[in-house]
Amino acid sequence: MRFDGKVVLVTGGSRGIGREIALGFAARGAKVALHYKANHEAARATLKRMEGAGHLLLPADIAEAAAVAGMVDQVVTSMGRLDILVNNAGIYEELLLPDACYAEWQAHFSRVLGANLLGAANASFCAAQHMMKHGGGRIVNISSRGAFRGEPSALAYGASKAGLNSLGQSMAKLLAPHNIFVGTVAPSFVETDMAAERLAQPDGDEIRRQSPVGRVARPEEVAYVAMFLASEGAEFTTGAIVDVNGASYLRS
């Protein structure tokens, strides 16, 4: 896969899966706009590792609609175009229903859906407006196995990822006539900072044993599938949700 001359916006690109996606695109010739929320140090560290030149750092709160619009506008203004959007930014929060009050419940859902679903929806809208005027593009969403199997301790997270799956499939139908193709990657646990604390708990080994491979996914394995869905020749996968879970959860 090569992406020479392509401009790619990766949200949540400073760490974990997003970092590997950004590094992968850069290594294959793309110019990458790397979005991050607040961790400038991590973003700068990722930028230093990226091959090639002409990359861009973009701080923004993905949950704020105006910030998302400004982020996409800055990519187009600074880099001249936007060919590929990867909606990777997201947060994971647990909330046990029996222990929560109603105000905590509302705040929990507002934070998680704002970052994981509304942010992606807004970024997709803004990116698609540009892509429709300039010959098309690709949108790739990073979802989760939790959208299918349920997340009883992180209900908002599971709901947000299920919504992201539906958003991607609906946009695939809507945007295909405009030469914009949409794919979704649904990983299980991945070796990232976000998952490290959970994997270090006593049930960490049990989580690893959920896959017959005996481990969780590596960030580069998720990045590879994201790049495939964004590549030339993968157009007919539009609307697909690709599981990257090591056979830990099989769905029909």
Please tell me the predicted confidence (pLDDT) of residue 39.
95
Q: Where are the domains of the chain?
A: 7-244
Quick one: tokens of 148?
């299918």
For Cα atoms 112, 117, 120, give the angle at the middle one, nearest 5 degrees: 125
pTM: 0.96
Residue 169 host element (H or E): helix 155-175
Q: What percent of the chain has pLDDT over 90?
A: 91
Q: What mean pLDDT comes out for the span 81-105?
A: 95
Burial class (CB in 10 A: 0-12, 13-18, 19+), 103: exposed
**Cα dist from 36 to 9, 151, 169, whole Å:** 11, 26, 26
Q: Which CATH number fits domain 7-244: 3.30.9.10, 3.40.50.720, 3.10.129.10, 2.60.15.10?
A: 3.40.50.720
Nearest alpha-carbon partner for 91 in 23, 180, 31, 164: 164
Please tell me the predicted confidence (pLDDT) of residue 172.
98
- pLDDT tens for residues 130-188? 999 999 999 999 999 999 999 999 999 999 999 999 999 999 999 999 999 999 999 99
Please tell me the predicted confidence (pLDDT) of residue 173.
98
Q: What is the DSSP string of 56-84?
A: EEEE--TT-HHHHHHHHHHHHHHHS---E
Q: What mean pLDDT comes out for the span 208-216?
A: 94
What amino acid positions are annotated as catalytic residues?
157
